[in-house]
């Protein structure tokens, strides 16, 4: 998926489509049909009123950057679209970011609690530390990184197929090493995070998609602070 900022309409359309899919109202490829109103299109849903939106180019843009898959209709009626793993991951990531950034203080325990509805916690003593404490103390920061990586490993590894566990663990070790090093290539860190977040194009159980983010999001904040002059 390209690292491209979505506008409000694109975010709203993607979020709404994902919500309908999660509710069982949208399944498989869908074909937007024009209505009598200029630039308005409709997507037919199962057991619910059709979803209306403005701007077919918004869907085409989402497909262009990998947040939807698209194919041309054989009958010559244009494109059909389908949600993919990146669609669900992007919506969950955005929702989690909103929930976290609404908090006044970057408390790690609060972040994990907010992003998981209270179902996940950091595994060790790091949940007693705030970001401010960690960012001002290298040893405390490294302990937090260890704890976040350990918690991520515990949360995800048992759910992965065995053939993918070694590669996932290697990516996690590589991320841990880069985060602690004096100089880290941001592109390499981003690539590693994409692998750990299942955004590298490999198929994965959709239920796994949101599980890494409660731990990867604090890691991203820590790394972003290190990049700030």
Q: Helices (DSSP H) in the chain: which residue ranges? A: 8-22, 56-64, 85-101, 108-115, 131-135, 138-156, 162-180, 186-196, 213-227
Asked if residue 89 belongs to a domain, the reply is no
Low-confidence ranges of the chain (pLDDT < 70): 1-5, 75-76, 93-135, 226-229
Q: Which of 229, 220, 197, 227 is nearest to 145 (CA)?
A: 220
**pLDDT on residue 141:** 84
Give, in order, the Cα–Cα distances in Å from 227 to each of 88, 188, 220, 223.
28, 14, 11, 7
In the three-class reduction of DSSP (H, G, I as helix; E, B as strand; rest coil), residue 2 is classed as: coil
**pLDDT on residue 94:** 67
Whether residues 110 and 220 fall in one domain? yes
In sequence order, which residues have a C-beta less than 8 Å from that of residue 99 and are 6 or more positions away? 114, 115
Tokens of 142: 């490294």
Whether residues 150 and 110 fall in one domain? yes
**pLDDT on residue 6:** 76
Q: Tell me the residue range of the domain where 60 lies.
A: 8-83
**pLDDT on residue 100:** 44
In the three-class reduction of DSSP (H, G, I as helix; E, B as strand; rest coil), residue 105 is classed as: coil
**pLDDT on residue 203:** 80
Asked if residue 47 belongs to a domain, the reply is yes
Asked if residue 100 belongs to a domain, the reply is no
Residue at which a domain ends, from 83, 116, 143? 83
Residue 87 near residue 68 (C-beta atoms within 8 A): yes
Domain count, the chain: 2
Number of residues that this document lists for the chain:
229
Asked if residue 92 belongs to a domain, the reply is no
**pLDDT on residue 59:** 92
Whether residues 127 and 25 fall in one domain? no
């Amino acid at each position: 998926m390209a690292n491209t900022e979505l506008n409000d309409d694109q975010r709203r359309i993607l979020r709404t489509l994902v919500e309908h899919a999660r509710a069982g109202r949208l399944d498989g490829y869908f074909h937007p049909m024009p209505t009598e109103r200029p630039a308005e299109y409709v997507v037919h849903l199962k057991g619910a009123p059709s979803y209306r939106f403005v701007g077919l180019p918004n869907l085409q843009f989402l497909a262009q950057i990998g947040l939807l898959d698209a194919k041309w209709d054989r009958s010559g009626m244009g494109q059909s679209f389908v949600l993919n793993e990146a669609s669900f991951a992007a919506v969950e990531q955005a929702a989690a970011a909103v929930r976290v950034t609404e908090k006044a203080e970057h408390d790690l325990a609060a972040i994990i609690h907010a992003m998981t509805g209270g179902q996940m916690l950091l595994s060790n003593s790091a949940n007693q530390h705030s970001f401010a404490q960690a960012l001002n103390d290298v040893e405390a920061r490294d302990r937090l990184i260890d704890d976040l990586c350990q918690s991520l490993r515990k949360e995800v590894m048992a759910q992965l197929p065995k053939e993918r566990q070694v590669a996932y663990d290697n990516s996690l070790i590589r991320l841990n090493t880069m985060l602690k090093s004096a100089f880290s290539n941001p592109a390499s860190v981003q690539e590693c995070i994409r692998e750990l977040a299942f955004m590298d194009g490999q198929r994965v159980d959709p239920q796994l998609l949101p599980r890494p983010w409660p731990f990867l999001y604090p890691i991203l904040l820590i790394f972003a602070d290190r990049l700030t002059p």
